[in-house]
């Protein structure tokens, strides 16, 4: 059974999130007061509804407590706090909230938000990481020291095997998948030569990612 998400607030961030979740196979309820934003997502998500999320009864009528995850992507400070409070009071298991500032985040934490995200800060960190690590095309931070990264195979990696590279022992990196054109292979053979423009999906310490990037740059 597909995981069920509700996204409240369909600005640029919320709309992008709702559409991506739907594309990945999740069931998505999109909620916003703005009729045009709702209409734009009708063909994309499971259900798009024009509703006032600051009305607790409206949330109950939508069966909000039945969703696995509810994301509050509202821009305004007070409404996002109020909606987060209602969601937790109504038994939503996991509430993820977009925060506009550190103060906003601290208050959200106090009222029970399970996960607090800072989109601009997170995107800034990912861009900085990719600019410094030229071969890294995407980066998701798991902790201050560990990340999931996508690394393009070029230079010193092309033609070599994962067994030969021995990334786990040398750099602490575990390759969990290889993207090759449109295919994603999670059953990675250690003895298959890597091809130019393959993309390695790896998990490990940021220090190890930097070491691998230097190896690639040396060619």
Residue 132's pLDDT is: 45
Which runs of E-coded beta strand occur in the chain? 4-8, 27-32, 47-50, 69-72, 94-98, 115-117, 136-141, 146-152, 174-180, 183-185, 199-205
The more confidently predicted of residues 34 and 119 is 34
Note the pLDDT tens digit of each residue in 72-107. 999 899 999 999 999 999 999 999 999 988 899 999
Q: Which domains does the chain have, with CATH numbers?
A: 4-117 (3.40.50.720), 122-218 (3.30.70.1450)
Q: Please count the other Cβ atoms lying within 10 Å of the Cβ belonging to residue 134.
A: 12
Q: Please report, rounded to a whole number, the percentage of residues in the chain having pLDDT higher than 70.
A: 86
Contacts of 88 (CB under 8 A, 6+ apart): 95, 111, 112, 113
Per-residue pLDDT for 190 more than 60?
yes
Per-residue pLDDT for 117 more than 60?
yes
Residue 133's pLDDT is: 47
Residue 145's pLDDT is: 77
Note the pLDDT tens digit of each residue in 120-151. 766 665 555 554 444 555 656 666 678 788 88
Note the pLDDT tens digit of each residue in 41-60. 999 999 999 999 999 999 99
- Residue 98 CA to residue 151 CA, distance in Å, equals 28
- Residue 163 CA to residue 147 CA, distance in Å, equals 22
pTM: predicted TM-score of the whole model, two decimal places: 0.62
Q: Which of 28, 23, 20 is nearest to 3 (CA)?
A: 28
Average pLDDT in the 190-194 region? 91
């Amino acid at each position: 059974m597909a995981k069920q998400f509700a996204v409240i607030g369909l600005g640029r961030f919320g709309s992008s999130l709702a559409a991506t979740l739907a594309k990945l196979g999740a069931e998505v309820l999109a909620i916003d007061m703005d009729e045009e934003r709702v209409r734009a997502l009708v063909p994309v998500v499971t259900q798009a509804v024009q509703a006032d999320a600051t009305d607790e009864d409206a949330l109950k009528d939508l069966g909000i407590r039945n969703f696995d995850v509810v994301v509050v992507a509202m821009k305004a400070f007070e409404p996002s706090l109020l909606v987060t409070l209602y969601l937790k009071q109504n038994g939503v298991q996991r509430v993820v909230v977009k925060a506009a500032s550190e103060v906003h985040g601290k208050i959200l934490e106090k009222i029970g938000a399970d996960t607090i995200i800072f989109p601009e800060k997170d995107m800034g960190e990912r861009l900085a990481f990719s600019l410094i690590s030229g071969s890294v095309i995407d980066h998701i931070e798991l902790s201050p020291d560990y990340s999931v990264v996508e690394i393009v195979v070029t230079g010193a990696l092309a033609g070599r095997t994962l067994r030969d590279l021995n990334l786990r022992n040398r750099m602490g990196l575990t390759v969990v998948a290889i993207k090759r054109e449109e295919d994603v292979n999670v059953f990675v053979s250690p003895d298959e030569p890597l091809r130019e423009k393959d993309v390695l999906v790896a998990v490990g310490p940021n220090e190890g990612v930097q070491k691998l990037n230097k190896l690639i740059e040396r060619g």
